[in-house]
Structure 1
């Protein structure tokens, strides 16, 4: 059985906010790594591109997961996966390291000195089991009134309808309409949490006939920044489904789809930075996430640019069709959670 390692957490000097959650790795022996990936000691210009690259890696991994999910709900923590894989990269060498660095878009070697210091790992460790979980609980800055929740129709991608509990809120919200490079209109709405450091973004095609994958396939960290910078504070009546999603994802398939294969192969994996005498490989890479969105807030565990334009926006925004959501740490651009709601 795997043994959860004790916390070896060090605080970064506010590079990653404590609210970003806790990352845990467990193994058959005592594989003890820091709970948060500490990239640099201070918030600097150098840290910002790395945060964006890390977010992009997590978003691309979500695309693989969403493609496999098809018309089913999916929820994932890009931050949790990027943190986990960053730690794995620190122990990798040779082709295994090359695959990780290529897929992730950055190389951590040299950024964190003496991370895997001698004596940290059990010398008889023969394989690694990676378990990733992130916990977050947020309260809306402006809660949805409980009395405003009613049954309303939700349109699935196959055209069928279902009745679901829909929350409603009239308030000044950060919202806008955008268009993809292929000319598809879509809505973006920001729902800030108390303190405004964290926000949930709701992203939905304007037309019910547009598949959600048309948006999933264009999202990047840079595009999300564009949304944030171009949202306008406007009076809106928002109607949004309550939803609760839970998933346990084996990351092996989506990671393999991005070219990360050697670390799962007993004959090819190279983790000699961890142990030079015993061959190591990753036997499992699991992430479990549960998220619930209701009137009070959220409980969770676990280079394409938009063309902006103006049009008459309806006073009522009804999210009665499949949509994407993401929870973002605004100061760093870190994406804590991301998911698709196909059926609330």
Structure 2
């Protein structure tokens, strides 16, 4: 990503706003494009190293976390964060957009988004009061002082999926250390360089605008990427939905189906290659912001028979291996990081954890204990059948923000 084009785009948007007077709508459109660019870049950076596994990331959540780091950064560290995100969160209009994208979701009917962003700073560090004041106005942020150099406790039971990361004020369990090894007090960088960890967790549950009927769920074939077929619980409904057929590149044809959640402030977009023989990888690599724009403009309401599998997944990432590929490297380097707005004691980001999970079921909230086998009548309506690997994007209707983006390679594989 080039900083000049993104910076130029953002400055152009602001100039247009001043001249045109349509501040809110035009800024929203410009921010949507920048956020889409970041979201797809993040997803592609993560997916490139995970091959054929199920995958989910939360671009909005990561963007909010990096925005918190921006509040504390200076110099080239700040420049890299601006370059990757495409904006500076110190701008009040940018901040309003991001906070609205995040905070408005839990006020939506039938939607439950749980997100926390915790910045763990070593317990001996004196944190700048101005930074604490700025962080307090950020979205669901905790600044926690902890002993990040403590060795891991082997007797601690494994953390449950619904349990938050340990954020006790006096110490940390050591799970937040990238290597899992204790950091000796006489290490080369101590005490001139002190650890800081960014921990982000997010989960989502929503109720469909039109729920699937449990008794219509059947075990049907799903074609895996290696050519083998398995049986998976396939949900069904006949409904009026937004649907479209598109092209990525000269030969890659694909379809997009949009399923709204209750209240219609959020929707799940399913992206499926049209040709059953086409792998998902080339489509993942080619998607860009212009494709998302074409969906917004090109989806049309259509009566369809819809078949999609239940799926549930959770992923945990250390973004320390992902963000440098996207251009954020100084923040993780003890010699170059500049977070002097947080503290003058030489902080750098030692780890950046992202824990994300989602579940898609008949009612949108939980899986049924059992399903009945039924025969469905043949229909002349067009069919959308996600019976092979597909992409999904959970988006905010008003802002276009991507809350979650992922792929389903095997609906019954729940390994993280």
Whether the TM-score (by the shorter chain) exceeds 0.5 is yes
SS of equivalent to 2:287: coil
Query: Is the aligned partner of 1:228 residue 2:296?
Result: yes
Q: Alignment partner of 2:71: what SS?
A: helix
Q: Is the 8 A contact 2:205 2:359 kept in 1?
A: no
Structure with higher helix content: 2
Please state if 1:290 is matched with 2:357.
Answer: yes
State the partner residue of 1:326. Answer: 393
Match of 1:21 in 2: none
Which structure 1 segments of 5+ residues have no match? Answer: 1-41, 300-312
Q: CA deviation at 1:174?
A: 0.9
**Quick one: structure 1 residues 255 and 317, their matched pair in 2 at CA, closer, same or farther if it must change by over 3 Å?**
same
Question: Residue 199 of structure 1 is aligned with which of 261, 267, 278?
Answer: 267
Size of the alignment, in residue pairs? Answer: 288
- Offset of residue 163 of structure 1: 0.9
TM-score normalised over the length of structure 1: 0.78
Q: Is the 8 A contact 2:303 2:381 kept in 1?
A: no
CA offsets, 1:15-61, max 9 Å, x none? xxxxxxxxxxxxxxxxxxxxxxxxxxx84422431243123212211
Q: Which residue of 2 aligns with 1:67?
A: 48
For 1:80-95, list aligned pairs within 5 A: 80-95=61-76
Matches within 5 A, 1:1-344: 43-111=24-92, 118=130, 120=132, 126-275=194-343, 277-298=344-365, 315-344=382-411
Checking the alignment, whether the CA contact within 8 Å between 1:190 and 1:200 is kept in structure 2 is yes
Q: CA deviation at 1:188?
A: 0.3
SS of 1:217's equivalent in the other structure is helix
Cα shift readout 1:155-205 (whole Å, capped 9, x = no counterpart) = 111111111110111111111111112221101000001111110000010
Native 8 Å contact 1:237 1:315 kept in 2: yes
Runs of 4+ in 1 over 6 A off after TM superposition: none
Give how far 1:135 is off. Answer: 3.3
Deviations 1:220-244 (A, max 9, x none): 3442232022111111101111101
User: Once the 2 structures are TM-superposed, how far is the Cα of residue 105 of structure 1 from its aligned partner?
Assistant: 2.0
Q: Distance in 1 between matches of 2:282 and 2:381?
A: 22
- The answer to whether the 8 Å contact 2:38/2:84 transfers is yes
- State how far apart, in whole Å, the 1-side matches of 2:313 and 2:340 are: 38
Q: Is the CA contact 2:131–2:341 (under 8 Å) kept in the aligned structure 1?
A: no
TM-score (norm 2): 0.65
Partner SS for 1:133? strand
In structure 2, distance between residues paired with 1:110 and 1:338: 27
Q: CA deviation at 1:322?
A: 0.3
Q: Report the counterpart of residue 305 of structure 1 in structure 2.
A: none
Q: Distance in 2 between matches of 1:119 and 1:226?
A: 40
RMSD: 2.5
Q: Which has the larger radius of gyration?
A: 2
Q: Deviations over 1:245-279 (max 9, x none)?
A: 1111111111111121111111111111222x200
